[in-house]
Amino acid sequence: MITKNISIASDLIRNGKLVSFPTETVYGLGANINNIDAIRSIFRIKGRPSTNPLIVHTYSLEKALHLFDFFEMNNIKNTIMKIGFEFWPGPLTIVYKANPNISDIVTASSGYVGVRIPNNELALQLLKTADVPIAAPSANKSGHISPTDVTHVYNEFKDDEVTILDGGDIRTFNNGIGIESTIIKLDTGKITILRSGGISYNDLDNFIKKERLPFELEIIKKMSDLKKGEIAPGQAITHYAPKNIKTVMIKISKPLKLTDISDDKSEIAILDYGRNALVFSDKIAKYLDLSEASDISEAMLNLYNYLRVIENCKLVKKLYIITDDQKNNLGIQDRIFRAASGNIITV
Ligand code: TXA
Ligand code: MG
């Protein structure tokens, strides 16, 4: 069922049903964290390994703080309050020790919980009306492209018992981001970025310095150091890949020439960035540009949508995604790297 009615959606959540809802990043597949059967059904319906914890969503800083256990670590508590006050509602997930009353299924028995307040009116209304924290991964089958439009969620779960709160296309939202939240984990003296996303490294670094917070900011591992396997729970090297299409990431330092790609042109798609592969536009099966103006926010908003458009093109057997190597777009580079299962060429 697809609905625009918040009270229907929140009753379903409270009663242990799954409801997909829009956020400013991607659509989530939500369940009441107090209902174990509902939480289990998220894992079942997504095909998600039980080792991969879920992010818990709530609507206020005060509610968020209750989800953690500070063991009288007031320094950490104050820091989370400051970071939360600055970046929430917004595309940032904070991971810290979990309140023991949160189920091990949510935390994947890690003892840590990820918490976020989404910056979207429908999501916030749902959270307030249901008035329970909602555990929600992205509303896609495990490993598939994350959903940024109500139709993406519908196509993913049309055979499952999932109600969708219809927010339309995230690209039309005031605060739309289009890729998932940045995830940070707090330890004594250290804040580690587990996943790059809607909040950039510089946003966090500037804030930590401005507030003189006694924490070093680290990124868990550079993308280029990634090997097969996982760097953090759920950070598999193949993720977001269009089905049945071999995908390659191209790092460019100059516009692409026709001779740079030797494949049969009738079978390839190019996802361009900043008109760098424009010579291919009328010569291949599908050509799209994430942002003609090389605007990273626009590219993030288009990425998952365009990957699905290309996935649905029957002619396409191979996809090239163009990226340039700017420091401040680690979130989108990470998604492209995983969509390409780590296959990179440099031109
Ligand atoms: O923007 C987002 O974060 C979206 C929207 C719906 O909020 N959610 C999302 O959830 O991307 P998901 O499950 O697709 O990705 C969550 C990531 C996973 O890689 C998971 O391993 C990590 O967050 N994560 C969640 N809880 C964690 C924890 N306690 N410790 C470490 N990583 C955690
Ligand atoms: Mg996901």
Residue carrying structure tokens 């049969």: 264
148 lines ligand 1 (CB under 6 A): no
- Laid out side by side, the sheet with 28-32 consists of 2-3, 162-165, 18-21, 28-32, 134-135, 55-57, 112-116, 92-97, 182-187, 190-195, 216-219
Question: Could you tell me the two tokens for 246?
Answer: 């071999």
Taking the CA of residue 233 as reference, the ligand 1 atom at the shortest distance is 21
Cα 309 to Cα 228, 276, 302: the distances in Å are 28, 20, 10
Ligand 2 centroid to Cα of residue 286, in Å, is 26
DSSP, residue by residue, 81-129: HHHHHHH-SSSEEEEEEBPTTS-HHHHTTSSEEEEE----HHHHHHHHH
Ligand with an atom nearest the CA of residue 146: 2
Q: Which residues of 155-174 are buried (b: 16+ CB within 10 A; e: fewer)?
A: ebbeeeebbbbbbebbeebe
**Residue whose CA is at the smallest distance from ligand 1 atom 19:** 234
Residue 234 pLDDT: 62
Residue 326 pLDDT: 66
25 lines ligand 1 (CB under 6 A): yes
- pTM for the model: 0.95
Residue 83 pLDDT: 98
Ligand 1 centroid to Cα of residue 186, in Å, is 15
Residue 237 pLDDT: 78
**Residue whose CA is at the smallest distance from ligand 1 atom 13:** 137
Cβ contacts of 5-8, under 8 Å, gap ≥ 24 = 6/122, 6/125, 6/126, 6/129, 6/165, 7/129, 8/163
Residue 324 pLDDT: 80
Residue 236 in 3-state DSSP? Answer: strand
Phi, psi of 246 (to 5 degrees): -75, 125
Residue 222 pLDDT: 57
137 lines ligand 1 (CB under 6 A): yes
Taking the CA of residue 27 as reference, the ligand 1 atom at the shortest distance is 6
93 lines ligand 1 (CB under 6 A): yes
Ligand 1, from 55, 59, 221: best to mutate by most atoms within 8 Å of Cβ? 55
| pLDDT by position in tens, the chain (length 347) | 999 999 999 999 999 999 999 999 999 999 999 999 999 999 999 999 999 999 999 999 999 999 999 987 789 999 999 999 999 999 999 999 999 999 999 999 999 999 999 999 999 999 999 999 999 999 999 999 999 999 999 999 999 999 999 999 999 999 999 999 999 999 989 999 999 999 999 999 999 999 999 999 999 865 555 555 555 556 677 788 899 999 999 998 899 999 999 999 999 999 999 999 999 999 999 999 999 999 999 999 999 999 999 999 999 999 999 998 665 688 999 999 999 999 999 88
Residue 113 pLDDT: 98
Per the CB < 8 A criterion, the answer to whether 223 and 320 are in contact is no
| Amino acid letter, 29 | L
Ligand 2 centroid to Cα of residue 62, in Å, is 26
Per the CB < 8 A criterion, the answer to whether 33 and 39 are in contact is yes
Residue 235 pLDDT: 66
Taking the CA of residue 183 as reference, the ligand 1 atom at the shortest distance is 23
Taking the CA of residue 146 as reference, the ligand 1 atom at the shortest distance is 14
Residue 233 pLDDT: 58
Per the CB < 8 A criterion, the answer to whether 198 and 182 are in contact is yes
| Amino acid letter, 102 | I
Residue carrying structure tokens 């299409």: 245
Upper half-sphere CA count for residue 53 (Cβ side, 13 Å) = 26
114 lines ligand 1 (CB under 6 A): yes
